[in-house]
Amino acid sequence: MNLRRLRAMARKEAIHIRRDPRSLGLAIGIPMLMLILFGYALTVDVDHVPLVVWDQSGTTQSREFVAQFTASRYFDFRGAASDYAGLVRAIDERTALLALVIPPDFAGRLDAGRPAEVAAIIDGSDANTAAIVLGYAQAVAGVFNQRVALAQSLRATGRAAAPPLDLRPRVWFNEELESRNFIIPGLIAVIMGLIAALLTSLTVAREWEHGTMEQLISTPVKPAEVIVGKLIPYFVVGMVDVLIAVLMAVFLFHVPLRGSVTLLFATAALFLVGTLAQGILISVLARGQLLASQIAMVSTFLPAFLLSGFMFAIVNMPVPVQVITYIVPARYFVAIVKGIYLRGVGLTVLWPDVIFLAVFAALVLALAVTQLKKRLD
């Protein structure tokens, strides 16, 4: 590989980028816009669940039970229903996701030491949200049960009985259980993969459409020099995007960065080389800018969004789909970014993912060079 010809190819592509400031602005602005939109819109946190109550007991005990819900930040009291039809109407109109039905004998059964049944009606049209709301309701009911049991023990024996189990949970890496702390690092991987492939998917295809590829064929420039020369300027743009995304994650979204910044940028560079080369390979094969951009979108964004573990746990997927995820490079970079951001781990833990990214980058680069050589012959 001749460094002079390589530098000339890189300079040619850099001049093209500089002459098209709108594309350069989009290359830098789109990742920022996507990070802001997805960062604020994508969340699995379920807070302020709208709650309605049909309290048929109207006693101190029933009001204390309802107060357990309204005192929690997870529930918002939206009013009392006077009958069952009112509960149904509230859930149908989505003014409530949870409705509590407290029976008339609620206080009497508690005073007699017997279990009191309370109906919790949950809108299950969104299964994930319903499951979380059910967990919240069961947790609140568990706290109330414990308080009632302690009060009954105190009345019966004159002293409060200690609970048989004292569970003391301790959450590592994401102490506040904020969804943005694991969504934002994954978003960086997904967005960078998409933008990198889109940027380079148009390069060689543009040469074919504009008729300048014939001029390149007539020069002594080798296919490897064409590929690497076109990759270098976009690699610089991609690393600028990574820098902006990292700064936004830390200072805008306040995601903790516990690991090595050097390792983060080194692995990001490796991931960018692979995805940029993937875009160039698509451009070589497609020969049309429209087709190349469509293939780049389908082959990068969708697998990265659905199969990388960014939003959906891979272990919960069917086994055949889990097998497919092993060929998605974003899976490994998502694991690396989350490991560096949240767990603060290094190469001793992340080396298998780094090796895969290196192999992927080398393989796709070799394929791009080979396919371009076949088309120049």
CATH classification at residue 141: 3.40.1710.10
Residues 236 and 313 in one domain: yes
Sheet harboring 75-80: ordered strands across? 75-80, 49-55, 98-102, 119-122
Residue 162 located in a structural domain: no
Give the per-residue pLDDT at 71.
86
Q: If residue 50 lies in a helix (H) or strand (E), which one and from where to where?
A: strand 49-55
Could you give the count of Cα atoms lying within 13 Å of 71 in the half-sphere of its Cβ?
Answer: 10
**Confidence band, pLDDT 50/70/90 cuts, at residue 352:** very high
* b/e per residue 31-41 (b: at least 16 CB within 10 A): beebbeebbee
**Confidence band, pLDDT 50/70/90 cuts, at residue 161:** low
Residues 144 and 244 in one domain: no
Residues 150 and 187 in one domain: no
Q: What is the pTM of this model?
A: 0.79
SS3 71: coil
**Confidence band, pLDDT 50/70/90 cuts, at residue 268:** very high
Q: How many domains does the chain have?
A: 2
**Confidence band, pLDDT 50/70/90 cuts, at residue 359:** very high
SS3 79: strand
pLDDT digits (tens, 9 = 90+) for 140-150: 888 888 787 77
Residues 53 and 36 in one domain: no
Q: Which of 127, 157, 187 is the last residue of a domain?
A: 157
Residues 153 and 58 in one domain: yes
Residues 23 and 78 in one domain: no
Domain that holds residue 119: 49-157
| Arithmetic mean of pLDDT, 193-210 | 76
- Which is more confidently placed, 300 or 268? 268
Residue 188 structure tokens: 């960086």
> Is the pLDDT score of 48 beyond 80?
yes
Average pLDDT, rounded, for the chain = 83
